[in-house]
Amino acid sequence: MDPKTLFLVGCIPARLALAWAASRNVMRPLLAYILLAIGAGFSYLYLSNTRLVAREAGGVTWWAPWRGFHAVLYLAAGFFLLIDRPYLAGRVLVSDALLGLLLHVLRYY
């Protein structure tokens, strides 16, 4: 499957599934810690400027400059779940998915 299609049928639905789970308070606080770990991972990649080649995306990690913002959104969503604000966590993750979709569309279409 080509990277553009994989993003649209794999990544975006996965992000929206996380947003749904967060907004419905599914498996909290486990999901909170998972989101915090994802956010920490994105923070590391952004701050260390590593993993600039993504095989699943067909090569260059063109979205690398956005990783810091992506990290902040995942960290915020995890924090909102920890303080029992699932609605806010879900909204933050939907915002992240929409940002990813917008960047994808601007890049490829």
Of 75, 67, 72, 63, nearest to 47 (Cα)? 67
Which segment of 1-10, 43-52, 73-82 scores lowest on mean pLDDT?
1-10
33-51 pLDDT, tens digit per residue, is 999 999 999 999 999 999 9
Return the pLDDT at 58. Answer: 80
76, amino acid identity: A
Domain range holding 84? 3-108
Number of structural domains (the chain) is: 1
Return the pLDDT at 54. Answer: 87
Q: What is the pTM of this model?
A: 0.94
User: Which residue's entry shows tokens 């095989």?
Assistant: 55
